[in-house]
Amino acid sequence: MNGMNPFRRAVFSLLAVLLSLFTLAEVNYPLLTPQSQLAIFALLGLILVFLKHPLHSRWQDAALARAGDWLLVLLAAACFGYVLVQSEPLFSRFWIGGQPLGNRAGMEQGSDYLAGLIGVLLVLEATRRAIGMTLPLLSLAFLLYAAFGPEMPAWLFPHRGYSWERIVSQVFLHSQGVFGIALKVMFTYVFLFVLFGTLLEQTGATGYIINFARRLFRNSSGGPAKVAVISSGLMGSLSGSAVANTATTGTFTIPMMRSAGF
């Protein structure tokens, strides 16, 4: 969180704690519908990305960039809040046509498509900020391929094409795209394992495991690789997650092996 002003840092910390508590509570004692859970989870995650990876480091006009960051935060709140309201029975009096969003396949309204389009663009922008241009460009290429199938040359496998409404519906409004299996697994399993691994790291348990493995193989040939294997195995036996394992022990053991010539 280096470079954040105090207000931004406070908002980031508060939302990070809220995301952790919400996920722990909803996974163990679910009160909301699955799509509502994922909408809140994705919303908090997007806001954290926009706060942690701001535009002002790339733009000369820092004030304008900060305003752009907060505008994206507000758009994310409006877009995913719309999905929440249109999916959760608690807000059934606001449902368009008296049906939840999940039951409106093929009967979506203009507001549904608008929220979906904004949501897709926000996800692409958050991905660009977090990991670079490659994945967003690849995703955009597939979206364009779906829309402009008839115009594709023969070597690019032309097809009859799909309307933008159908693309937005499949990608965002229902459970096949953004709210599909990847986000469900992240919400149900991966996030909790990474959270647990981070707690182990912050309490010193990860360091103890790594130091134990280092002392065990400090005079052994190929010691760094053996340290990585043993510490990874011990950490994995506690967390049960490859992602959490990589995020904790891997950040230390992988550079150590590289420096040793592996």
Q: Tens digits of per-residue pLDDT, 126-148?
A: 999 999 899 999 999 999 999 99
Predicted confidence band of residue 5 (pLDDT cuts 50, 70, 90): confident
Domain boundary among 145, 179, 213: 179
Query: Would residue 1 count as lying in a domain?
Result: no
Final residue of a structural domain among 179, 214, 231: 179
Amino acid 48: pLDDT: 95
Domain span at residue 123 reads 6-179
Residue 51 within a domain: yes
Residues 72-117: pLDDT tens digits? 999 999 999 999 988 888 887 778 777 878 777 777 788 889 999 9
pLDDT tens digits along 9-60:
899 999 999 999 999 999 999 999 888 999 999 999 999 999 998 876 555 5
Do 123 and 229 sit in the same domain of this protein?
no
Running DSSP on this structure, what letter comes out for residue 180?
A: S
DSSP state of 94: G
* 3 state DSSP class of 91: helix
Clarify whether residues 129 and 199 are in a common domain: no
pTM comes to 0.79
- Does any domain span residue 25? yes
Claim to verify: residue 195 and residue 172 sit in the same structural domain: no
> How many CA atoms within 13 Å lie on the side-chain side of 90?
8
- Provide the number of structural domains found in the chain: 2
